[in-house]
Amino acid sequence: MEVSPVLSVEARQAANRRLAVRLGLLAVFFVGFGFALVPMYDAFCRMTGLDGRTGTMAASAVENTQVDYSRWVTVEFMSHAMPGAGLEFVPEKFKIRVHPGEIGHINYVAKNPTDRSFVGQAVPNVTPAVAAKHFKKIECFCFTQQTFQPGEVRQMPVTFVVSPELSRDLSTVTLSYTFFEAVKKRG
């Protein structure tokens, strides 16, 4: 019969301290890794071209775009607010049809039903990813952080153009926004 060794109180406390230090270092590593993910993702997207980010276009460039009246593109709209943000966020319409090269307009509606201010930023994404470079935003609430007061409801416009260079095989493009909380107010 084997007898298990009994650790002294001092040895157990020393082992617990070593474990606490290791867990603390692991937590610091993962916090740092979390902050490093954004630039790593940006670098990965630039290298591979696999991001779903939309481009921006000056209004003068849009005026020079030729509209392709021979076809339609359906643009679908989606919205997400990160859990715990307390923001209600939806498009006014879930889809519209535009001719490539034609200026499109849509509004998103955001409501802060909470009793605290909310500061956030919307991040756009276009799918399929190959369509992202052909989806140009002229005006968008996603260009800057948004501050919502308690109970505030706001319409936020998006003005865009789907480039005529979009493949004729693509007849549907989805524009999705995810709203992240940028600043937590302590109160």
pLDDT digits (tens, 9 = 90+) for 63-120: 556 899 999 999 999 999 888 778 899 999 999 999 999 999 999 999 999 998 888 8
With 0.75 as the threshold, say if the pTM is over it: no
Q: At 99, give phi and psi (nearest 5°).
A: -85, 140
CA distance 137 to 59: 10
In which region does residue 151 sit, left (phi positive, over 0), alpha (psi from -120 to 50) or beta (all else)? left
The residue ranking higher by pLDDT, 46 or 135, is: 135
CB atoms within 10 A of CB 50: 11
Per-chain mean pLDDT for the chain: 83
Only one residue has tokens 């939309």, namely: 54
Q: Is the pLDDT of residue 53 over 60?
A: no
Fill in the DSSP letter of residue 140: E
Helical (H) or strand (E) element with 124:
strand 118-127
